[in-house]
Amino acid sequence: MARKSADSIWSSVCQQTLSKEINPLTFNTWFTNAKPYLSSERTFGLSVPNEIAMEYIGQHREQIEFALRNATRIHYDLEIAVRPDGSIPSREELERRYDAAFNGNGSFQIGRLNPDYSFSTFIVGSSNNFAHAASVAVASMESPGNYNPLFLYGGSGLGKTHLMHAIGNQVRRDFPNKRVVYVQSEQFVNEFITCIQKNDFEAFRNHYRLADMLLIDDIQFIESKERMQVEFFYTFNALYESGKNIILTCDKPPQSLASLTDRLRTRFISGLTIDIQPPDYETRIAILKNLCRSHGVDIEPDVIEYIASNITSNVREIEGAFKTISALQTMGAEVTAELARQALQSVIQPGAVKALDFPLIMEIVAHYYGISVDDLKSRQRSQDIVEPRQIAMYLCRKKLNRTLKEIGAAFGGKNHATVLHACDKIAEGIASDPALSETIGNIEMRLQ
């Protein structure tokens, strides 16, 4: 089947999802003028006319990527390019950008760490203090010991990437002779594919296996890629056995990476695995006050309290709300709590809690596992689909107390025996498998 063009993908995503979920003023002002393009096999690009458009669209990054995944079943990363002339990058420009990953002798460039991500700019609270302390310890470059590998997991926008970059920045500053290699797992996979095409693996292996510290962001992207997992297994072993530090981030615990090989999963959990939870109220207040200080902005206390009380899921949304209020003040507006409520109504809707129903449970389970709701409803029998489907059925039975027939109908017409088997299997698994029990607990927290 031929891959859809960027225009058709973007048109479908906008019409079916984004125009219905995003505030009409925001959507019509910023989204309708964005021009789509495919930057690479796994990168979807939007060309926008200025930094303001990039800022507003960027606040919806996760929402856009989720909509793209549902529409195409491809895990696209969103790239936003500012191009005042209204053009999109040419094919030659995209090819040059991709080729720039290699230097003249075919080796790889070391990934770029964000200099703004440091331990001093990370707000510590009860939800992340353990992860912060462990990261500081790893950055000291003492013997890795029980900290190796350090596996940080949690939802989007909770600070996993910030801590990873902070580790890398600290080590590069304090130990300039140490070779720190940072890479997003999507780039890691793409580089490996290039090596397959060129039938040349030496540069790839030397680049990663000669590192003193390897940081890989979003390791869940190597799921379902068997050959990639084999290569990473040997890279992991080479570094681990040499006493080198390995730091990984993921959107879920290693036990929940259903299509990961057992030998990799056991290595991931052999070190220190830490769950980063959403920030509590006090931490959210601290984050907003720190943003005010660092940007030289004075926001009224009642506005800060309003944001902290109503945006509870992740730091990224808090930062987005802050930027909106800051922009209003820059334009001369006197921002009161009432004006803040109006300005942030697309992300804050006090009292408008979604009712728990079949679609919501399916959506949360699918998002947790990085698959689509259509996958849950499909007839696919692969393990990476079957387990999430069974969990979703179990939660529908437990949370909604609906009949087996009703649940089966919601899942694409499954019969009641299939639903009963799923519910019994998950219930038995919770009693005997701590990893599955933890997974169910993590999903139930998201349902709240």
Name the pLDDT band for 92 (thresholds 50, 70, 90): low
Nearest alpha carbon to residue 35 among 77, 72, 5: 5
Q: In this structure, how many other beta carbons lie within 10 angstroms of the beta carbon of residue 398?
A: 14
How far are the Cα atoms of 5, 89, 100, 188 from residue 93, in angstroms, in the given order?
A: 18, 6, 10, 21
Q: In this structure, how many other beta carbons lie within 10 angstroms of the beta carbon of residue 172?
A: 18
Per-residue pLDDT tens over the stretch 193-218:
887 777 777 777 777 888 889 999 98
More confidently predicted of 150 and 371: 150
The pLDDT of residue 163 is above 90: yes
The pLDDT of residue 168 is above 80: yes
Per-residue pLDDT tens over the stretch 6-26:
899 999 999 999 999 898 888
According to the model, what pLDDT value does residue 409 have?
Answer: 92
According to the model, what pLDDT value does residue 100 have?
Answer: 47
CATH class for domain 358-447?
Answer: mainly alpha
According to the model, what pLDDT value does residue 107 have?
Answer: 43
C-beta separation of 213 from 247 below 8 A? yes
Residue 365, phi then psi, degrees to nearest 5:
-65, -45
Q: Which amino acid is at 250?
A: C
Structure tokens at 310: 């109503």
According to the model, what pLDDT value does residue 189 have?
Answer: 81
CATH of the domain spanning 6-99, picked from 3.30.300.180, 3.40.718.10, 3.40.50.10540, 3.40.630.40: 3.30.300.180
Per-residue pLDDT tens over the stretch 285-327:
999 998 888 888 888 888 888 888 888 777 888 888 888 888 8
Name the pLDDT band for 41 (thresholds 50, 70, 90): low
Give 3-state DSSP helix, strand, coil % of the chain, rounded to 5: 60, 10, 35
CATH of the domain spanning 119-275, picked from 3.40.50.300, 2.40.50.140, 3.40.50.720, 3.90.1150.10: 3.40.50.300
Query: Kind and range of the H or E element at 28?
Result: none
End-to-end Cα distance, the chain: 40
Secondary structure class of 248 (helix, strand, coil): strand
| Domain map (residue ranges) of the chain | 6-99, 119-275, 281-343, 358-447
Rounded Cα distance between 11 and 299, Å, is 38
Architecture of the 281-343 domain: Orthogonal Bundle (1.10)
More confidently predicted of 363 and 389: 389
User: What is the CA 169 to chain-centroid distance, rounded?
Assistant: 21
The pLDDT of residue 95 is above 70: no
Report cis status (omega within 30 of 0) of the bond before 149. Answer: yes
